[in-house]
Amino acid sequence: MTQLTALWVLAWRAVHPMLSSESLPGRYPKNQRLRGKAVSEVFREKIGELVPALINFSTADICEPGELTVRGEIVAMPPSLQSCPLQVVEHIVELLDLADIRNLRLSCATLATKASTGRFSNFFESLYVDLTADSLLSFAKATQADSPLCKVHTLHLAGIIREPDDSTIPSWERKFNCSAQTEHEVQLLSQALDGLAKYNKDGILPSFSVRIAVLKRNNKRDLPRSTGRGYPLKSLWQCTVNSFNTAIRALAASKLRVRQMNLFNERDMQHCSLSCDQLNMFDWTDASIVDSLTAVTTLSISLTDRIFAFNEDEEIDENFSDCGSGDEEANRQPTQRDTEIMTESREESNFSGLANLIAACPRLDDFELHYLSIMWPKRRLFDNFPRQDILRHVAGLDNPPVLGRCRIRGATVKDMDLLNFIHRSRVAEASIEVVSLEKGTLRPVIDYCISESASLTKLHIDTVFEKSEEGYTGLVHFLDEGKSRKYGGKFEVGTEILNREGDNRTKPVTYYVRRPVAEGNPTISEWNTLRREELPTWAYNSPNRCQADNKTREAKWRTECREKLANHIHSQLGLTILPTDVKLITKPENLYQWSILTAGKAALFNKQLSKHSTGAYIDLCSGVGVHFKAVPGEGAADYEQETRLVTTSIAFDAPEKSREHSSSDSITLQLSAKEWRERFNEELAKREAVEIEMMGIKGENAKLLTEMKALREAEATRIQDLEKAREILTMSSRLLQERALKAAEDSQKITYAATSRIDCSMHSD
């Protein structure tokens, strides 16, 4: 059978050029297409050429009668390809590519039917469907008929964000749009899901996921990206909400049930999460929803903070200078909008939705939560959002599910909530990654996980932030567990990763909270890059670090942009303008105006320079002198007259001022360098002292362990000696008892003999 299949495949590949995509209907002259009998004739010719290579067939290779007969060196083939048994066609299809299978199916109806089973049907086990009216209509029609789409095992529903067609809008101001949810789309999806329920065993779909895709103007697809500020775009947030509502409503209205559910938590869904308050938009106790989720065993979901602002220009302050500046932030009075947001952020409905969803899945065995913290422009909004209450509600469920596996990433939690969740759900395998402890320490969680009473079999901890006794929040480092990936170099002590499994699970754990180091440390950048590679959907974002990185990059480009514009004005008009005084929106009386050479760049001059984003600064730097240029303004003539009058005095004063300026700059730089050098030396000395102290502690621990080991060995030896002594005493006691019994018997015998003699003597007398 194998050689016969190979013979057919070789013949098919030889005929393949005649059945390529050019031979499809409408693309090739009708009289030249290969159909039906013509296909069989061409196959016979190719088989005749290939027979000498397969002349050594044995009778064991002969298939069923009629399929292949061997008569010396003559091989008789079936009358046509479509008359081959289904088993032979399936073997041929298994060795063909998808394009070849398509061409084979187009040859005739019989082959189309036979080639549609087996390997070809496996291509339809995973299906991506756009949540658009046209795509859902085609999907619904396909599932109503007996098509390969009905046998899908994994269904991915993709919400679509479209890029606008207006090319005149600058890239940094381009707003993507998301189509609104309609009842018609929900009905179409519900019909399609009903079709899938008919062809799946017990009406259960093995895998169901909801995701997002960005449709570009060139019809290419892209994945969602984060904005420069770390704040989700309105269209991205709205699309996740619409997609989630459409999917859940259609699922509840259908007869389909799912086994594995993934909501925006696939590895390629970066910065695409569902607002946590949207989970409470559904009544998870409704009978239709409960029936759809009753078979769910795996739930993977990505959540984010509640979205309050819809229009960033109106509801979010454009000035981000307060990010990370604690003194100014504390003294600044909150606006009315800030007060409203902080009040709404404490509503319980923001955090109870996930617990209600889990309660609706009684068979849940595998749970994964990913949380994306939004970097609000104002730090008080970030700090006042109680995102840690989400796990509190989950841990407080009346009947929590018994989990075989649990993974929590990017969440902010309290120590007791995390402990209660692990304890009450009786997790077998727990993974805690990039978690920030809002309150408490990691110690009670670790102590429970490594205890004998815990049901845990595997524990993985990677990157936990804890507030130390000194008040700072640092990264937890575990001692004697390996090498740190974040803090490398001479003063590295411990690692941020802890793994416990099997017999090693109950091993004691020692850790400390490391004081944060300067963000300019190159190892920090390498570590952040590593985190992004390992966790494409990595959610934890420290406000100071992320906002500082964005602000540093934006400030760099703003400074470079001002310098390039000032140099352009000087070279074009001969005007000396300080970079800090460069303006994009000018008045008629100014010394210079801007002449727009490319219409698409006019939007650059609708805002002042300080209000632009990083993308605008890049376009300004690359477009100066090309897309726009500086021209003289009305104030330029007066400036030239004043310049002639003061030239002489400036020429005399310039050398002296230059010397004074350079001298003061040199002194400032020297003082600054000296101050930083002293700080560096102090920090270095502290770290060396800590390192020495830690090494001393390690040495003492090693000595204590050695002494404990010696004591245990001595104790074991003493116990063995006592056991031997007890055995000797037992044996001695047994011997004494036996001797006592024997002595008693001898005494009785002697007494009996003496009595007998006395009796005899008395009788003789």
pLDDT tens-digit readout, 128-156 = 899 999 999 999 988 887 777 777 889 99
Closest alpha carbon to 364 in 322, 395, 324, 402:
402
Evaluate whether residue 690 is within a structural domain.
yes
pLDDT recorded at residue 98: 76
Query: 179: pLDDT confidence band, cut at 50, 70 and 90?
Result: low
State residue 133 phi and psi, 5-degree precision: -60, -45
pLDDT recorded at residue 701: 86
Please identify, among 89, 121, 153, the residue that sits at the C-terminal boundary of a domain: 121
Which parts of 450-542 fold into alpha helices (H)? 522-534
Strands 511-514 and 473-478: antiparallel
Which one-letter amino acid corresponds to residue 726?
A: R
| 496 contacts 486 by C-beta, under 8 angstroms | yes
Kind plus residue range of the DSSP H or E element containing 65: none
Tell me what the mean pLDDT of segment 32-41 comes to. 44
pLDDT recorded at residue 165: 61
Query: 255: pLDDT confidence band, cut at 50, 70 and 90?
Result: very high
Beta-carbon contacts of 568 under 8 Å, excluding residues fewer than 6 positions away, are: 624, 625, 629, 630
671 pLDDT above the threshold of 60: no
Which one-letter amino acid corresponds to residue 11?
A: A
What span, in angstroms and rounded, lies between the C-alpha atoms of 579 and 50? 79
Beta-carbon contacts of 572 under 8 Å, excluding residues fewer than 6 positions away, are: 625, 629, 630, 631
Which one-letter amino acid corresponds to residue 384?
A: N
What span, in angstroms and rounded, lies between the C-alpha atoms of 245 and 278? 9
Q: Pick the more confident residue, 137 or 82.
A: 137
The CB density around residue 264, as the number of other CB atoms within 10 Å, is 25
pTM above 0.75, yes or no: no
Which one-letter amino acid corresponds to residue 172?
A: W
89-131 confidence digits (pLDDT tens):
888 888 887 788 888 888 888 888 887 777 776 677 788 899 9
191 pLDDT above the threshold of 70: yes
Token output for 50? 């290939």
599-633 confidence digits (pLDDT tens):
778 888 888 887 787 778 888 888 888 888 888 87
| 40 contacts 72 by C-beta, under 8 angstroms | no
Tell me what the mean pLDDT of segment 583-590 comes to. 83
316 pLDDT above the threshold of 60: no
Which one-letter amino acid corresponds to residue 583?
A: K
Which one-letter amino acid corresponds to residue 183?
A: E
8 pLDDT above the threshold of 60: no
Q: What is the DSSP letter of 412?
A: E
Chain Cα centroid distance, residue 552: 26
Which one-letter amino acid corresponds to residue 80?
A: S
| 513 contacts 475 by C-beta, under 8 angstroms | yes
Evaluate whether residue 734 is within a structural domain.
no
What span, in angstroms and rounded, lies between the C-alpha atoms of 382 and 342? 9
What span, in angstroms and rounded, lies between the C-alpha atoms of 54 and 47? 10
Q: Pick the more confident residue, 429 or 679.
A: 429
Chain Cα centroid distance, residue 6: 44
What span, in angstroms and rounded, lies between the C-alpha atoms of 15 and 9? 10
What span, in angstroms and rounded, lies between the C-alpha atoms of 159 and 240? 7
545-559 confidence digits (pLDDT tens):
444 456 667 778 888
What span, in angstroms and rounded, lies between the C-alpha atoms of 63 and 85? 10
State residue 438 phi and psi, 5-degree precision: -75, -30
State residue 156 phi and psi, 5-degree precision: -110, 115
Q: What is the 3-state secondary structure (H, E, C) of 241-303?
A: HHHHHHHHHHHHHCCCEEEEEEECCCCCCCCCCEEHHHHHHCCCCCHHHHHHHCCCCEEEEEE
Evaluate whether residue 619 is within a structural domain.
yes
211 pLDDT above the threshold of 80: yes
Closest alpha carbon to 459 in 513, 406, 400:
406
Specify the number of domains making up the chain: 2
Q: What angle do CA 148, 151, 152 make, to 5 degrees?
A: 105
State residue 668 phi and psi, 5-degree precision: -60, -45
Evaluate whether residue 256 is within a structural domain.
no
What span, in angstroms and rounded, lies between the C-alpha atoms of 425 and 444? 17
pLDDT recorded at residue 56: 38
CA distances from 91 to 17, 53, 68 (A): 21, 20, 15
What span, in angstroms and rounded, lies between the C-alpha atoms of 264 and 371? 11
570 pLDDT above the threshold of 90: no
Evaluate whether residue 207 is within a structural domain.
no
Tell me what the mean pLDDT of segment 59-77 comes to. 39
10 Å CB burial of residue 29 (0-12, 13-18, 19+) is exposed
End-to-end Cα separation, the chain, in angstroms: 120
SS3 493: coil
430 pLDDT above the threshold of 50: yes
What span, in angstroms and rounded, lies between the C-alpha atoms of 345 and 388? 12
Evaluate whether residue 618 is within a structural domain.
yes
Closest alpha carbon to 248 in 202, 279, 206:
279
What span, in angstroms and rounded, lies between the C-alpha atoms of 129 and 264? 15
What span, in angstroms and rounded, lies between the C-alpha atoms of 491 and 489? 6
CA distances from 636 to 296, 582, 589, 625, 633 (A): 74, 15, 8, 19, 5
Please identify, among 713, 731, 750, the residue that sits at the C-terminal boundary of a domain: 713
**Which range of residues forms the domain containing residue 585?**
563-713
Identity of the highest mean pLDDT range in 335-339, 493-497, 511-515, 728-732: 728-732
What is the widest separation between alpha-carbon atoms in the chain? 176
Per DSSP, the chain holds a count of helices (H) and strands (E) of 22, 20
409-423 confidence digits (pLDDT tens):
989 999 999 999 999
What span, in angstroms and rounded, lies between the C-alpha atoms of 485 and 495? 7
571 pLDDT above the threshold of 70: yes
Evaluate whether residue 96 is within a structural domain.
yes
Q: What percent of the chain has pLDDT over 90?
A: 23
Looking at the DSSP bridge assignments, the partners of residue 430 are 406, 459
Q: Angle, nearest 10°, between helix axes 98-105 and 2-15?
A: 80
Beta-carbon contacts of 593 under 8 Å, excluding residues fewer than 6 positions away, are: 586, 630, 631, 632, 633
214-224 confidence digits (pLDDT tens):
887 777 777 77
What span, in angstroms and rounded, lies between the C-alpha atoms of 273 and 539? 10
364 pLDDT above the threshold of 90: yes
pLDDT recorded at residue 676: 73
4 pLDDT above the threshold of 70: no
303 pLDDT above the threshold of 80: yes
Q: Angle, nearest 10°, between helix axes 133-144 and 183-199?
A: 30
Q: What angle do CA 533, 535, 537 make, to 5 degrees?
A: 120
200 pLDDT above the threshold of 70: yes
Q: Residue 726, CB half-sphere, CA atoms under 13 Å: how many?
A: 6
705 pLDDT above the threshold of 90: no
Q: Dihedral of CA 736/737/743/746: which sign?
A: negative
Please identify, among 61, 96, 121, the residue that sits at the C-terminal boundary of a domain: 121
9 pLDDT above the threshold of 90: no
431-468 confidence digits (pLDDT tens):
999 999 988 899 999 999 999 989 999 999 998 999 87
Q: Dihedral of CA 713/718/723/724: which sign?
A: positive
What span, in angstroms and rounded, lies between the C-alpha atoms of 63 and 69? 8
Tell me what the mean pLDDT of segment 29-35 comes to. 39
Query: 199: pLDDT confidence band, cut at 50, 70 and 90?
Result: confident
Evaluate whether residue 355 is within a structural domain.
no
Task: Give the mean pLDDT of the chain.
Answer: 75
| 239 contacts 178 by C-beta, under 8 angstroms | yes
10 Å CB burial of residue 334 (0-12, 13-18, 19+) is middle
What span, in angstroms and rounded, lies between the C-alpha atoms of 591 and 594? 11
Q: Pick the more confident residue, 39 or 24.
A: 39
CA distances from 295 to 7, 11, 89, 196, 255 (A): 47, 48, 37, 16, 12
